[in-house]
Copies of this chain bind each other. A is one copy, B any other.
Amino acid sequence: MRADYATRPRGAIERLLESDRRYLSATQIHTRLDVEQARVSLATVYRTLERLHTKGTVSARVDERGETTYMLCEPEHHHHHAICRICGRVEDVPCRALDEFASALQQRYGFELDGHAMEFSGVCNTCR
């Protein structure tokens, strides 16, 4: 039960994600596949992305316009993303600093931290 067939559409989507380390929307992915003649239906794009997200190999985030975007992302160790406002490329950022912050939060507000998300916007090395 619950096999995992290696199909052409899935291959195309995964290859595209591997080639571009930034958050892309389902529509963007769909359009780009179209351009490179690897036509995949939009519904399949959504389904594949959701599958990869559940599997944990893509990170999803909704952008300021409310559109969900996806990026390949190894979850091996917890980290955060610094997203370049200009080119959209993403830098991984480890998060040791947060530990002490968590304990301060606990002491000061009695808030038991069990999850967090951070996002940084700015300009990356190459764009500057």
Residue of B with least CB distance to A127 = B112
Which residues of chain B come closer than 8 Å to A93, judged between CB atoms? 105, 109
Q: Please tell me if the beta carbons of B125 and A110 are within 8 angstroms of each other in the complex.
A: yes
Q: Which of B66, B117, B120, B124 contacts A66 (CB 8 A)?
A: B66
Within the complex, which residue of B68, B97, B105, B125 is in contact with A82, where a contact is CB–CB below 8 Å? B105
Decide if A77 is an interface residue (CB 8 Å cutoff): no
State the Cβ distance, A57 to closest chain B Cβ, in Å. 18
A111, B97: Cβ atoms closer than 8 Å: no
Instruction: Give residues of chain A (28-57) contacting chain B, Cβ–Cβ below 8 Å.
Output: none
Q: Which of B91, B110, B119, B120 contacts A128 (CB 8 A)?
A: B110
**Stoichiometry (number of copies):** 2
> A16 in the interface, Cβ–Cβ < 8 Å?
no
The reply to whether B112 and A116 contact each other, CB–CB distance below 8 Å, is: no
- Is residue A115 within 8 Å, beta carbon to beta carbon, of the partner chain? yes
Whether A1 is near chain B, meaning CB under 8 Å from some CB there, is: no
Q: Which residues of A contact B (CB under 8 A)?
A: 62, 64, 66-68, 82, 84-85, 91, 93, 97, 100-101, 104-105, 109-125, 128
A-B contact list, 14 entries, CB within 8 Å: A62-B62, A62-B64, A82-B105, A82-B111, A91-B109, A93-B109, A111-B124, A112-B123, A113-B120, A115-B121, A115-B122, A116-B118, A117-B119, A117-B121
